């Protein structure tokens, strides 16, 4: 009995119960009603005791019963407050976690303090003074299995001892196909939408992440996602340059009418020279107007200085030096030098790069360039390839080998990319 009370009356539950009563005042009725019941019992017993004729027995019984009643009152009030602070599913969650061995060295599992809906997600708030966030991350898969959920995010709560699990039901799956529609295009000039996760639309902002790297194995949907981004840039009125060294067959028809498709190295060098000169010219323009970035410049002058995007669908075809002559290798070095400059300085001046490739390792993309691609997206991949693209193996774990158009970002968001029907885009 005592053991059960200890399990029920725990300090975190008491604190949580007080918070719940403060937020929802009607819950204060429970301890008040209990107090009234105890008081009624006290007076009833007191009247019975007065009928006893032996004075010492009356006094003894009165004090004994008083102590019992006070003890019952204190334990009862603590129990009620603790119950108010305990979610209905706390015991079930506790047993599930205990069964899969998610516990500290003392054998205690985290306490579930609250469980509530937030949009399409459900939040689990756990308390444990001995299990840090890293333990939740290590045991993420067994927690998911035990509670039949998918963990979208792990967040530290009010302090390091409170951990929030942002989840969706395990049965929730990404849709098989999501058609792109022009109504999805964001109004903000720098914002792009690329797909939908289990809880929200997935987007990025070039003001925050100026350069985009897409990687993944053959057939994962890289080119389709690359085209989706380029199509949005065209619709927004960007100056768009696309290098396609796979023969240019993927960018025929309207693509050639809407943007500059580059298929040979000589034209590539000319375009990169032009972009670098434009970057230097914008530096001078911003310096004279004392503007820090393209947004501030456009707002101050009331103009519409267009952003520039340089994209390459398979960067390895462009930068591969295998079998090249000394002069050709020197040309590649010059291309890499210009890429490096744009990667470092392009954000403020509205000049951006979008690269897609199967394997962006150091032999394909130098570290000084790759490190400036803050937003990385990985399609299906093995652990090694996922590590190269995202700096972690999660794409191999979260994306099935037969899935196409499903991607994982370096921010941990799994999403299904929009399908762009090129016949109806323009």
pLDDT digits (tens, 9 = 90+) for 179-208: 998 889 999 999 999 999 988 899 999 999
Tens-place pLDDT, residues 365-407:
888 899 999 999 999 999 999 999 999 999 998 898 888 999 9
For a pLDDT cut of 70, what percent of the chain falls above it? 78
Q: Tell me whether domains 90-169 and 182-424 share a fold.
A: no
Q: Do residues 232 and 240 lie in contact, with contact meaning Cβ atoms separated by under 8 Å?
A: no
Q: Do residues 415 and 196 lie in contact, with contact meaning Cβ atoms separated by under 8 Å?
A: yes
In which residue are the tokens 């951006």 written? 352
Q: How far apart are the first and last CA of the chain?
A: 74
Q: Which helix (H) or strand (E) holds 318?
A: helix 315-319
pTM of this prediction?
0.74
Report how far Cα 405 is from the mean position of its chain's Cα atoms.
19
d(CA 225, CA 219): 12
Q: Per-residue confidence at 97, pLDDT binned at 50, 70, 90? A: very high
Query: Residue ranges of the domains in the chain?
Result: 2-84, 90-169, 182-424
Q: Please give the residue that has the higher pLDDT: either 403 or 52.
A: 403
d(CA 361, CA 215): 10
Dihedral, 386, 389, 391, 393 alpha carbons, nearest 10: -10
| pLDDT mean over 81-98 | 76
Tens-place pLDDT, residues 215-254:
999 889 999 999 999 999 999 999 999 998 877 677 877 7
Q: What is the pLDDT of residue 393?
A: 92
d(CA 241, CA 7): 66
d(CA 246, CA 410): 27
Edge-to-edge strand order for the sheet containing 162-169?
111-118, 121-127, 162-169, 149-156
Sort 42 into a burial class: Cβ within 10 Å, 0-12 / 13-18 / 19+. Answer: middle
Q: Tell me which architecture the domain covering 90-169 has in CATH.
A: 2-Layer Sandwich (3.30)
| pLDDT mean over 77-81 | 55
Does the pLDDT value for residue 162 go beyond 80?
A: yes
Residue 139's φ and ψ, nearest 5 degrees, are -100, 20
Q: Tell me which architecture the domain covering 182-424 has in CATH.
A: 3-Layer(aba) Sandwich (3.40)
């Amino acid at each position: 009995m005592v053991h059960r009370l200890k399990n029920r009356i725990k300090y975190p539950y008491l604190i949580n119960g007080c918070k719940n009563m403060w937020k929802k005042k009607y819950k204060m009725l429970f301890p008040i009603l209990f107090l009234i019941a105890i008081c009624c019992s006290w007076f009833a017993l007191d009247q019975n005791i007065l009928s006893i004729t032996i004075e010492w027995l009356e006094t003894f019984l009165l004090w004994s019963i008083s102590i019992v009643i006070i003890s019952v009152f204190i334990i009862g009030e603590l129990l009620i407050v603790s119950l108010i602070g305990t979610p209905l599913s706390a015991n079930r969650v506790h047993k599930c976690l205990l069964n899969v061995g998610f516990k500290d060295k003392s054998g205690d599992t985290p306490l579930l303090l609250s469980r509530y809906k937030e949009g399409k997600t459900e939040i689990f708030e756990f308390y444990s003074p001995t299990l840090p966030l890293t333990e939740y991350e290590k045991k993420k898969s067994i927690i998911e299995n035990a509670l039949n959920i998918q963990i979208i995010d792990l967040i530290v709560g009010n302090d390091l001892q409170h951990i929030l699990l942002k989840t969706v039901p395990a049965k929730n799956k990404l849709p098989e196909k999501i058609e792109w529609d022009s109504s999805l295009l964001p109004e903000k000039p720098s914002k792009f939408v690329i797909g939908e996760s289990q809880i929200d639309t997935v987007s990025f902002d070039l003001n925050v992440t100026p350069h985009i790297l897409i990687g993944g194995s053959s057939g994962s949907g890289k080119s389709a996602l690359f085209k989706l981004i380029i199509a949005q840039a065209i619709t927004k009125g960007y100056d768009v340059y696309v290098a396609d060294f796979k023969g240019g067959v993927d960018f025929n028809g309207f693509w050639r009418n809407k943007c500059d498709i580059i298929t040979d190295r000589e034209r590539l060098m000319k375009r990169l020279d032009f972009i670098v000169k434009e970057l230097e010219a914008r530096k001078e323009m911003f310096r004279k107007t004392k503007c820090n970035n393209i947004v501030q410049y456009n707002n101050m002058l009331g103009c519409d200085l267009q952003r520039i995007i340089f994209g390459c669908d398979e960067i390895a075809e462009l930068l591969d030096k295998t079998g090249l002559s000394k002069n050709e290798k020197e040309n590649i070095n010059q291309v890499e030098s210009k890429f490096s400059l744009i990667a470092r300085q392009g954000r403020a001046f509205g000049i951006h790069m979008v690269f897609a490739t199967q394997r962006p390792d150091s032999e394909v993309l130098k570290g000084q360039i790759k490190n400036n691609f803050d937003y990385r997206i990985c399609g299906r991949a093995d652990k090694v390839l996922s590590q190269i693209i995202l700096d972690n193996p999660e794409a191999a774990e979260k994306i099935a080998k037969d899935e196409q158009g499903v991607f994982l970002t370096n921010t941990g968001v799994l999403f299904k990319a929009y399908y762009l029907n090129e016949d109806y885009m323009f």
